[in-house]
Amino acid sequence: MSIMKIENLEAKIGDKNILKGLNLELEAGKVHAIMGPNGAGKSTLSKTIVGHYDVEITGGDITYKGKSIKDMEPEERALEGIFLSFQHPVEIPGVNNAYFLRTALNAKLKYEGKEELNAAEFLRAMKKHLEMLGMKSDMISRSLNEGFSGGEKKRNEILQMLILEPEVIILDEIDSGLDIDALRQVSEGINKMKDGKRTFLVITHYSRILDYIEPDYIHVLKDGKVIKTAGPELVPYLEEHGYDGIKED
């Protein structure tokens, strides 16, 4: 069953057309990997799905659970269960990490008509995730991402994902800047969320993370379009032949 359908999507950043009639269907509960060369439009695709202000949609549509989201505000898309782990998470000095996460979670719980968590309930939930991700407990009382190393920022993105429990999870180069231990811990966090119901869109340059998070589908993105969709058997082929060896479907 499809949870998200992207049809003939065209989008630009500034004056530059980046997505040029992109088609992609995400099957619910599956792990979709998007691979492609630099400049293919991978990050623009993720930004377009979440409604990033950099991007202007000039054609086509994105439907999520059967309804168009292209005119929805980013926060509404997030409340509906779409999550993006940023390639370059921003630092926000003065905003306490725990407050930020709890505010986000409680906004979502309220939207879903559920009871909000108080500070103690929230901390209890968060501390077990911190341990699994190998994060120090002081990271939750620091300002959001301020002074965090690259690996800590990516772990913090995964912490947000674990707390918010989204339905569609977009991971934009979550593996960049991670050493082997951090990659393993981040992958463990991601795999914890793989329950056959949540859908993943894993954007990556390299196959390394796909050794940890086994994808169901590989989509090759080139020049603003998905040119090929195949099973995980495509990964070793790409490793050997590169993207130039791929023929359009």
Partner 1 sequence: MSIEATIARYKEDFDLFDDPNDKLEYIFDLGKKHTTLPDEDKHEGTYVVGCASDAWLVGDCKDGNLILRGEGTSEMAKGMLTLLLDIFGKRTADEILQFDPAGLQDMGIMELLSPVRQQSLQAFLKMVYGYAQNCKEQGA
Which residues are at the interface with partner 1 (CB under 8 A)?
A: 116, 118-120, 123-124, 127, 137, 141
Shortest separation between residue 120's beta carbon and partner 1, angstroms: 4
The residue (of 63 and 106) whose beta carbon lies closer to partner 1 is 106
The residue (of 8 and 141) whose beta carbon lies closer to partner 1 is 141
Instruction: Describe the strand order of the beta sheet including 16-27 as a list of residue ranges.
Output: 16-27, 2-13, 55-64, 67-68
The residue (of 22 and 163) whose beta carbon lies closer to partner 1 is 163
Shortest separation between residue 116's beta carbon and partner 1, angstroms: 8
The residue (of 127 and 241) whose beta carbon lies closer to partner 1 is 127
Shortest separation between residue 129's beta carbon and partner 1, angstroms: 14
Shortest separation between residue 98's beta carbon and partner 1, angstroms: 8
